[in-house]
Amino acid sequence: MKIRNSIILSCCAMAALGISSCGTLNLPFGNSKNADQEQTPNANLSSKSEGDKIEKKNDKNDKKEEKKNDKKGKNPAVLPTDRESLHDLNQKEYSAKDLEEGVVTGDWTIEEIADDKLNPGTAAYLKFVPKERRVYGNNGCNTINASYTYNPAEHQLSFSNVLSTMRLCPNIDDIDERINLALNNTKGYQWSHSADEYYLYFYDENGNRLLTLMHQTFDFLNGAWQVSAIEEDPINDPEMRIVIDVEEMKIHGNTGCNLFNGKIDIDMETANTIAFHDIVTTRMACENPENQTRLIVALEDAAHAKPVDENTVVLLNLLNQPVLTLKRL
């Protein structure tokens, strides 16, 4: 009896913390039995009555929150306001059609100033945040940010309140000053699409090209994947899986024997460069430890990622040799 009363008190405590269901636990696999079924009538009635009061209170709060969310939008739009009606508010990936229609969003590496190509090691990039209508980045030396407005129909784009830190950087010529000046003079933009790469061009009021940028995104990696090959060797282990979360910059999965997790870095200094690091695994003994070792080494060697199609991705090393082939689950 003491044990049963403790269960009732724990359930009610859970209800007080905002868990509206007292007595039934919804688990990922299967259904659990109601913990109140074996209680005495009086104890069960007391627990149920207390839980019902809190549940009703929570329901009222939920309804108020729903009404509030309906009025102002439950989630902030990730696309500019002039295009919200065309897309789901939770959309985070952009198709070729989206980009061609003029979505200014995401991460872009600055490839050229006018006709001058930047060195690959130059950390110059811009990150557009549509819901804030602001852009953040680096001009090759200093951190920058600015407000921006744009009109897709007229291909108009302009920046205002361009701010920059004032660190002195040797050996970069005047790249930082030229990028800041280009942003201040930008009045329009155009797109081009080559293979899997998208380019964005900024122009001044006279149609002179000021900056050339390349889209930097790994959104296509998001989701759960089956490892189908390590290097060029087929893998037929259904348990060898990887889950990639680019937004959270995290990776986890199963080596076919042990669980693992790690971190992701995206290098804005070099186009299409990604790294997986700090990978740790559980330490269960494996019948075939070789494949586990090869998987971890392949992840640590990966430097680039290329979509083959919407359900297949290849991770490449610095020599552009395949180290992992992944199939979407």
The residue type found at 312 is T
Class of domain 220-328: mainly beta
pLDDT digits (tens, 9 = 90+) for 239-260: 999 999 988 899 999 999 999 9
Domain ranges of the chain: 2-72, 84-216, 220-328
Please report where in the chains the tokens 């329009």 appear, as a residue.
188
The residue type found at 123 is A
Maximum CA extent, the chain: 85
Q: Give the pLDDT of residue 83.
A: 27
Ramachandran angles phi, psi of 224, nearest 5°: -100, 140
Q: How many CB atoms lie within 10 A of CB 313?
A: 22
Distance CA 165, CA 136 (A): 12
Please report where in the chains the tokens 């430890």 appear, as a residue.
289
Class of domain 84-216: mainly beta
Domain 220-328 in the same topology as domain 84-216: yes
Q: Give the pLDDT of residue 11.
A: 41
pLDDT < 70: residue spans in the chain: 1-103, 120-121, 171-172, 195-196, 268-271
Torsion of CA 222, 226, 231, 233, to 10 degrees: -170
Of residues 134, 136, 144, 205, the one with CA closest to residue 180 = 144
Of residues 65, 61, 190, 186, the one with CA closest to residue 135 = 186
Q: Give the pLDDT of residue 219.
A: 82
* Residues paired with 112 in a beta bridge: 117, 212
Kind plus residue range of the DSSP H or E element containing 297: helix 289-301
Q: How many CB atoms lie within 10 A of CB 286?
A: 15
Given a contact cutoff of 8 angstroms between Cβ atoms, the answer to whether 195 and 163 are in contact is no
Q: Give the pLDDT of residue 195.
A: 61
